[in-house]
Amino acid sequence: MPPSFRVLDDIAIADIAFEAIGNSPSELCLAAAQALIETLADPRTVTNTWHQTIELENETLAEILFAWLSELVYWKDADGVVFSRASASVHSEASGLWRLHGELVGEAIDSTRQHLRADVKAVTKHLYDVRQDDRQWKATVVLDI
């Protein structure tokens, strides 16, 4: 099954919640990034003139995912961009640390051309959960809008 996400309407009233699913940690991070990207704007209306490489390291996959999503929110605010796509490669090292190499692609916000949706303020720890069920990785994330 390819990485996917679904909006959870009954979790957060004033915020947006989603569940991301992937067959690997990399797919999980990609699905979660796609959920955040699509919360911000329709990625089909965003061109590819802005690029950013992200390198993260942490002790747990849950913290890597949280930091990854927080990076998207940071760059949205710091450079005033929305995203057309993201890529993520995640692996666990022998030392026990998790590493993520990610790429973000998008462009400066332009409401005359882009279909903007919600302004995500932050990724929250409210109901935040990362787990492995059978062979799939799942995450529940609530975004503050």
Where do the domains of the chain lie? 4-144
Mean pLDDT on 87-116: 97
> How far is residue 25's CA from residue 41's CA, in Å, rounded to a whole number?
24
3-state secondary structure of 67: helix
Q: What is the pLDDT of residues 91-100, one digit of tens each?
A: 999 999 999 9
Record the pTM. 0.91
Confidence of residue 3 (pLDDT cuts 50, 70, 90): confident
Residue 1 has pLDDT above 70, yes or no: no
**Predicted pLDDT at 13:** 64
Token pair belonging to 100 = 């993520």
CB proximity list for 137: less than 8 A, separation 6 or greater: 21, 22, 23, 24, 25, 27, 28, 61, 130, 131
Q: What pLDDT sits at residue 77? A: 98
Q: Tell me which CATH code domain 4-144 carries.
A: 3.55.10.10
What is the C-alpha to C-alpha distance for residues 99 and 88, in angstroms, rounded to an integer? 10
pLDDT digits (tens, 9 = 90+) for 75-92: 999 999 999 999 999 999
Residue 35 clears pLDDT 70, i.e. is over it:
yes
